[in-house]
Amino acid sequence: MTSYHAPIPEMMFVLKELADLDGVSGLPGNEEATPDLIAAVLDEAAKVAQEVLAPLNQVGDQQGSRLVEDRVTTPDGWQDAYRTFIEGGWNSLAFAEQYGGQNLPWLIATAVQEMWHAANMSFGLCPMLTQGAVEALILHGSPELKDRFLPKMVSGEWTGTMNLTEPQAGSDLSAVRMKAMPEGDHYRLFGQKIFITYGDHDLTENIIHMVLARLPDAPEGTRGMSLFLVPKVLVDEHGGLSQRNDVRCVSLEHKLGIHASPTCVLAYGDNEGAVGYLIGEENRGLMYMFTMMNLARHAVGVEGLAIAERAYQQARSYARERVQGRPIGVGAGDRASICHHPDVQRMLMAMRANIDAMRALVYLWASALDKANKHPDREERERHSQLVEVLTPVVKGWCTETGNEIASLGIQVHGGMGYIEETGAAQHFRDARITTIYEGTTGIQANDLVGRKVLRDQGNAARALIAWMRATDVGDVAGLGRAVASSLTHLSDATDWLLDGGGKNPRLAASASDDYLRLWGVVTAGWLLAKSASAAERSLTDGDGDVEFLNGKIASARYFGTHVLPHSAALLRAITEGAEASLALHPELV
């Protein structure tokens, strides 16, 4: 397996040219996010990713985490790596100084998070879940709970989890049965949760679980769920650890990939009941949990980008080193490395262009989140909040589906060697496969986009975002401006169809939702890469920047514009003419 090298020049280009780094750094509270500080943060993060986490990636895959006598043990090197991680302050980047955070923008935290997941996705999952738990507690927890738990969660001394589903529930959270019984100033929880990432481990002395459960008199369905904070080890009023809580890991799932990340079945209340503390108000738990889920969905989109970057770096390195055959059109002479063969060039170009597109999309989302939270103008906050809402399922769904395609291409570039575990290409493919499933499958993301983000508000947010993209001058480098304009029309027409005929038939709208999500991904990414090409051309004209790098940005955007963006026309037809075809057979005959 090749080493990982953080693509800092690529990251900085997107941060500056497409994600408005200057605007984000100028927001109230972000004054310390100077260019020098950001460069230093990325450089130091790259060292940790490349030198500490990446070497453990294959070790973790081969060893996996293990459950022995009620205790989960992580692979060799994991504990030292996690100690390095928290001592460097990496867990606290985007959180408020009030709780020990560094108050950096989410945009910068996203770039750093890309490095963690590219270097070692199994490792990166742990701080990712903690990040969501911290944000939920900051927004919805009581002052007492914040003071007791946040400092050590922000620092990473304690980790966090998200406990949603149960054996009988799956993605249908209305079927959750875990009970929470009132007892003085706390509750006792009884039940079982499954698929809990880092639900138990040996990296920290405490784990803080965010758990959905029902009170005795709760209404049925999703409206009857409350959110509880349940520590693995009880914490006294001074923040000290006391006795072990009544929650334990009863088994670990045996998975296709991410072997080093322990996916736990947790049992609550086998004895007297697990002590938990209500977060916010009763029966509003799912709303609070969405704070975690939306951050996690973006983070999983980052994983799609990150694992694609890692697969691309390995495929590119192999293609440059593997000598086989003569290039087409060369009748004699020495054999050449396979990167000279047009089909391998095609695959590498597809990987590169789609990675550029994903990076632009996930960084744009993070920039919008910063502006939605901190922009001084209310209308700007609302506009960026709408962007976050609409693009969350697109980032999660499109980036993970694309990440899987790129990881698969990575194996193909290797040929037969890619199918052999020793090269490491197969691990990236196996690790990537979960990203389209957890935190809501692509189908769930698509239904969310259509049902909640388009139909529920009569398409106002979607149309506003389309209008904003149309009003942006993206130039016309290599004809990209015209191609983007056509694709935006396709997206607008598809949205109108959903709001008209499709919106009147919920099954028809649901049938079209996956294609509609993919259409959003293709069009938004194409719009961003058109901007990227224009920015690169301006820099070339001004004589500012590395010529080879800038020409590479234009080539990448051109590839996307000629190979991926044309799919918008086909996706529009699939939506407006093909939705009924998916439902043509009786469900039991499909």
Query: Residue 473 CA to chain centroid, in angstroms?
Result: 28
In sign, the C-alpha dihedral spanning 345, 350, 355, 357 is positive
d(CA 360, CA 16): 11
Closest by alpha carbon to 361, among 518, 551, 493, 545?
518
Instruction: State the Cα–Cα distance between residues 390 and 371, nearest whole angstrom.
Output: 15
CA atoms within 13 A on the CB side of 124: 28
- Residues with Cβ < 8 Å from 213, sequence gap 6 or more? 176, 178, 179, 180, 187, 189, 191, 225, 226, 228, 276, 285
d(CA 385, CA 379): 10
| 183 noted as active-site residue | no
* Helices of type H across 156-243: none
Alpha carbon distance 463, 499 (integer Å): 11
One of 439, 577, 580, 588 is an active-site residue; which one? 439
Task: Decide if 299 contacts 109 (C-beta within 8 A).
Answer: no
First-to-last alpha carbon distance for the chain, in angstroms, is 41
Q: Give helix 8-17 / helix 342-374 axis angle, nearest 10°.
A: 50
10 three-class SS: helix
Which residues are registered as beta bridge partners of 160? Answer: 208
Residue 544 tokens, joined: 């500012």
Kindly give the pairing relationship between strand 233-235 and strand 241-244: antiparallel
Q: Return d(Cα 218, Cα 327) in angstroms, integer.
A: 69
Question: Can you name the residues that pair with 179 across neighbouring β-strands?
Answer: 190, 214
Measured distance CA(219)–CA(67) in Å, rounded: 37
Beta-carbon contacts of residue 324 (< 8 Å; ≥ 6 apart): 335, 337, 338
Alpha-carbon gap, residue 274 to 259, rounded angstroms? 28
Token pair, residue 348, equals 């590498």
User: What is the DSSP code (8-state) at residue 588?
Assistant: G
Separation between Cα atoms, residue 264 and residue 159, nearest integer Å: 15
- For residues 300 and 132, give the distance between their C-alpha atoms in angstroms, rounded to a whole number: 12
Q: CA-to-CA distance for 416 and 343, rounded, in angstroms?
A: 16
Catalytic site residues?
A: 439
